[in-house]
Amino acid sequence: MSPSAVRVPIIGGTGDLGFGLAVRWSLAGVAVTIGSRSAERARTAAARVRELVPDAGVEGVENVDAAGAGDVVVLAVPFAAQLSTLGAIASALSPGTILVDCAVPLATAVGGRPTEVLGLWRGSAAEQAQAAVPAGVTVVGALHSVSAAVLADLGQPLDEDVLLCGRRRADKGRVARLLQLIPGLRPVNAGTLDAARSAEQLTALLISINGRYKTHAGIRILRLPEDDHWAEELATG
């Protein structure tokens, strides 16, 4: 995949995770559309990206306009804002769009601890998102274990895995190709969308580890084959 041929919309791209992703993709030559509830905040975030990556092809617009700007849309808003945000952008999500949901349902959403995860009726935030998107839009849960602080710090090399959870192998393949454009991120096929239950829980564990070691921990799965199997996933259509 040629980086210059892609534009990635990031809903909530003014926030920690979305901004970090915007910076890393911009550095890789990928065009990014930062979405926000406020066009002005989105433009300010885009200007911040350009301060770090002067030739970035980044723009900032309102969430609903960002949502229509690419085929793979990253949703990077707090869990508590997931459903309302999906409602606000639904009209712009056309059939065939892949929504990458990063939400971790931390108990902080209801005043609880960041090391605990809420039990959800749908099983996981990603499954909740799938139930809320328009027909023909599919959700891939991803990026739960990647630290926003590390992404935004260009002095820190990335060297970690990203678990991808989704119904269709081809969808995970398309998301994997986007993630592979960021040096140091290795996408791993973690299974169907319900596997997001485990992937999301893992973040609470990492937050607990972060508190003890004063770091921004990530994950690495050992003993995976080194071949690039994503072409096969993409070929499943």
Considering the rule CB under 6 A, would residue 153 count as an interface residue with ligand NAP?
no
CB atoms within 10 A of CB 19: 24
What is the per-residue binding string for ligand NAP in 104-123, x denoting contact by CB under 6 A? x-------------------
Considering the rule CB under 6 A, would residue 38 count as an interface residue with ligand NAP?
yes
Residue 143 beta carbon to ligand NAP: minimum distance, rounded to whole angstroms: 6
Considering the rule CB under 6 A, would residue 85 count as an interface residue with ligand NAP?
yes
Considering the rule CB under 6 A, would residue 94 count as an interface residue with ligand NAP?
no
Considering the rule CB under 6 A, would residue 124 count as an interface residue with ligand NAP?
no
- Three-state secondary structure string covering the chain: CCHHHCEEEEECCCCHHHHHHHHHHHHCCCEEEEEECCHHHHHHHHHHHHHHCCCCCEEEEEHHHHHCCCCEEEECCCHHHHHHHHHHHHHHCCCCCEEEECCCCEHHHHCCCCCCECCCCCCCHHHHHHHHCCCCCEEEECCCCCCHHHHHCCCCCCCEEEEEEECCHHHHHHHHHHHHCCCCEEEEEEECHHHHHHHHHHHHHHHHHHHHHCCCCCCCCCCCCCCCCHHHHHHCC
Residue 80 beta carbon to ligand NAP: minimum distance, rounded to whole angstroms: 6
Considering the rule CB under 6 A, would residue 15 count as an interface residue with ligand NAP?
yes
Specify the residue, 73 or 102, whose C-beta has the smaller distance to ligand NAP.
102
Considering the rule CB under 6 A, would residue 76 count as an interface residue with ligand NAP?
yes
Considering the rule CB under 6 A, would residue 78 count as an interface residue with ligand NAP?
yes
Tell me which of 144, 169, 172, 197 binds ligand NAP, using CB under 6 A. 144
Integer Rg of the chain from CA = 16
Residue 235 beta carbon to ligand NAP: minimum distance, rounded to whole angstroms: 30
Q: How many residues bind ligand NAP (CB under 6 A)?
A: 25
Considering the rule CB under 6 A, would residue 67 count as an interface residue with ligand NAP?
no
Considering the rule CB under 6 A, would residue 143 count as an interface residue with ligand NAP?
yes
Residue 10 CA to residue 4 CA, distance in Å, equals 17
Binding stretches for ligand NAP (CB under 6 A): 12, 14-18, 36-38, 41, 76-79, 81, 84-85, 102-104, 143-144, 146-148
